[in-house]
Chain A
Amino acid sequence: MRRRMRGVAVAAIALTSVMTMAACAKDSGGGSNTSNNGSGAACEYATPPTAPATSNTSAAAGDKVDGSALKVGLAYDIGGRGDASFNDSAAAGLDKAITDMGIKKENTRELSAAPNEDEAAKQTRLRQLASEGFNPIIGVGFAYAESMKLVAAEFPNVKFGLVDSAVDGATNVTPLLFAEQEGSFLAGVIAAYQSKKCHVGFVGGVEIPLIQKFEAGYFQGAKAAAPKIEIEKKYITPAGDFTGFQDAPKGQEAAKGQIDKGADVIYQAAGASGKGIFSAAKQAGVLAIGVDSDQYNQATVADTKDVIVSSMLKRVDVAVYDYIRAVAKNDLASLPKVFDLKVNGVGYATSGGKIDAKLQGILEGYKAQIIEGKITVKDKP
């Protein structure tokens, strides 16, 4: 009996300590930010820079280039021509080159990657193009970086272009890089001016350096336009787990979470998961900003296009076209190191009519400042 008493006593002491511990939660926690809806007031905006009187953005040198002797090979990433995104954009650049420079259609070859294929398949694809005499060969997407490093060394006389990545030490590989952070900066400005509650959000697909460039630019842009703005951010999956680019249900929940916290403009850089973010915005009656291509006109998200204010454009078509043109002129040095705002490598879309003349003036002002170097946009958060 005494043993039992002791056991109960110990239990009682433990119980008390549980109670005490239960009282020792942090007070710093979530606070009352659930019922934020409606409490957020309109933004106080920083004075926007004035738009330049005439924006002469690199008036394309109109001299005719003859590319009829070129044999152009394109190696797409997963999806290939018809993905309504990245690869299609590259294909558009090739199509423009065909019509403008007199490249013969039969002298071009397009090959496409399979999901989860191994390195060897990519190498074989590039090697096949190179040994059939295609020159230049363009690899669309950073997935080709490793295989191009090997294959380019085997074919030193063939010119390679690589979208979204660089290969160290290979002189015949031209990197076609983009300043996504600069375009995202403008997306941040758009979000700040479109937000009614001065509270915006960012949903990234996978937390890799490429997508962090989008985040960094967006945050900086939104803060530049409205210093006191609140910004939510969420990556669907961490680095290494690439399902974040194709999980629309999870994208939807991430966006819903931000909307419930009070965000009313969401910028997505989440690939095929972006569909879920648009859907969440539509259900909640808020706005969203698309990415890569002009998503307002994209068929796969047509049912939610009325929420898409704008899209951050990444002009893979411009890069591919310029690269082919530079090869035809035999003047690769003329290519920009990075396709940025200055050369229209990135930008914003105005389809849908939600960006009025006033906002466009503000955007052109920021754009001019970035081009002049008065604003440096960070590429890391």
Chain B
Amino acid sequence: MITTMEEKPHVPAAPRRKKFPGWAVGMISVAGAVALLSVTSYMTNFPQLTSSGTTQTAVRLMLPILLAGLGGLWAERAGVVNIGLEGMMIMGTWGAAWAGYQWGPWAALVSAVVFGALGGLLHAIATVTFGVNHIVSGVAINLLGAGLTKYLSTLVFFPLSHNPRQSPPVQPFDTYSAAGFADWLGELESGQRLFISDVAGILRGLVTGVSPLTMLTILLVPLSYYLLWRTRFGLRLRSVGENPHAADSLGVKVYFHKYVAVIVSGGLAGLGGAALVLNPGQLSYLEGQTGGRGFIGLAAMIFGNWRPGGLLGGAALFGYADGLQLRSGGDTVLALVYGVVILLGVIVVYQLIKRKWFSAAAAIVVAVLLYLLYISLDEIPGEFVSYAPHMVTLAVLAVASQRLRMPAADGVVYRRG
């Protein structure tokens, strides 16, 4: 990671700002993150930072957030703010449970998408056709999702489960593991060698106990990228989100593209609901089970700068931090603070090379403060630990907010002239 940084001074600053293509930046970030975690876990002696168990937990907790975030991405790229993701997700959970207990997990997926898409359709009708304020419509859909599912579950589930808040059990997906490969990685992981064991741990977590839903979700990220950035349809959809008047004058059907985007958005959020229902620990509809994940998905999308790759990173961060605090508790999260200190150190070096003295000084101050915190505490208090992911997001947003760029006409009601 450091070697790539040191090549920087030879690059002239202004004319060629974009040196690497997006995928290379992604690869470098992943490698950097793994290297950072690896060094942290080695230095602090917390192997669970990169263990396969932690990785698996992170992936499981990430799925609903990632799907909600993708939903947000589709809607906002077409210029519709979708704060109703939570409500669409709730409708998805009900749909998944209703089809799931009768016809199995695949039917649950389809039904969840349909129910979520219905919520999306409603949002589209309100915001696109009738020009309702996007936030107002979204909040209404959140309320409607909670209320409607409560009514439906009392009606449909209560006679079967004798509990108006819960559905009968749903059949789970079978999970798949790359058996031989995972065993070999397991040997590497238990060796506790710097970097190799960490990479092996993370990889092993990624290839064991994978359900079809996980694969589908991960595939949806490049698929969304392809559809939105590499097809004619995607270009039109994004143009509607950037400048609907210009798009309209060029003959792009603005309403049609907004409708499609918001309906797909709802379908993806609904799929996120299915990911909750089909989680092996849950396997049923439970009132209030989404617990604000729709909003977190929206935050992950903003974190990712309205891009699929960044969104994946944001969702992974939430899943990882949440999984770590659930599995290991305060002392391990404290080790992560140490990792942040190292990260800040690297940033300082980078800023010094770029001769940004002020930013470097600020980073040094923060690093020293965090390091003092790390040295003086034995573990982070539980109240903070639970909100570690939220705080990391806040910190990242505070640092990176100048570089975030939302679609220009996001949240603007468009009336055909």
Contact = CB atoms under 8 A, between A and B. Distances in A.
A30 B164 contact: no
Contact of B352 (A7, A22, A252): A7
Nearest to A79: B165
Contacts of A60: none
B386 A249 contact: no
Contacts of A285: none
Interface in B129-179: 150, 158, 161-166, 169
Contacts of A250: 61, 322, 326
Nearest to A235: B382
Interface string A256-294: 110010000000000010011101100100000000000
A80 interface: yes
Interface of B: 2, 9, 39-40, 43-48, 51, 53, 57, 60-61, 150, 158, 161-166, 169, 190, 276, 279-284, 286-289, 291-292, 322-323, 326-329, 331-332, 335, 338, 341-342, 345-346, 348-349, 352-353, 355, 360, 371, 374-375, 378, 382-383, 386
8 contacts: A14-B345, A18-B348, A25-B335, A83-B165, A249-B60, A254-B326, A257-B328, A277-B281
Secondary structure of the A side of the interface? helix
B327 A299 contact: no
Secondary structure of the B side of the interface? helix
Interface in A211-248: 234-239, 241, 243, 246-248
B169 A303 contact: yes
Contact of A243 (B2, B46, B158, B288): B288
A11 B364 CA distance: 13
B327 A254 contact: yes
A300 B284 contact: yes
A251 B45 contact: no
A69 B352 CA distance: 85
A311 to B, nearest CB: 18
Contacts of B332: 30
B286 A246 contact: yes
A82 B157 CA distance: 12
Interface in A341-380: none
A248 B279 contact: yes
Contact of B51 (A22, A34, A82, A243): A34
B375 A276 contact: no
A82 B164 contact: yes
Contacts of A331: none
A115 interface: yes
A113 to B, nearest CB: 12
Contacts, number: 169
Contacts of A237: 386
B349 A279 contact: no
Contacts of B48: 30, 34, 260
Interface residues of A, number: 62
Interface in A7-31: 7-8, 10-11, 14-15, 17-18, 21-23, 25-31
A29 B329 CA distance: 12
Interface in A178-229: 207
Contact of A279 (B61, B281, B382): B281
Contacts of B43: 22-23, 25
A44 interface: no
B342 A22 contact: yes
A58 interface: no
Interface in A60-98: 78-80, 82-84
Given A247-B289, A280-B281, 14 more contacts: A8-B353, A14-B345, A25-B40, A26-B44, A30-B45, A30-B46, A34-B51, A82-B163, A234-B326, A238-B386, A248-B286, A249-B279, A256-B53, A275-B281
Interface string A102-120: 0000000000001100000
Contacts of B378: 28
Contacts of B341: 21
A146 interface: no
A261 to B, nearest CB: 8
Contacts of B166: 272, 300
Contact of A260 (B327, B348, B371): B327
A17 to B, nearest CB: 7
Contacts of B51: 34, 260
A21 B291 contact: no
A78 B323 CA distance: 29
A21 B342 contact: yes
Given A247-B289, A256-B57, A275 B282 contact: yes
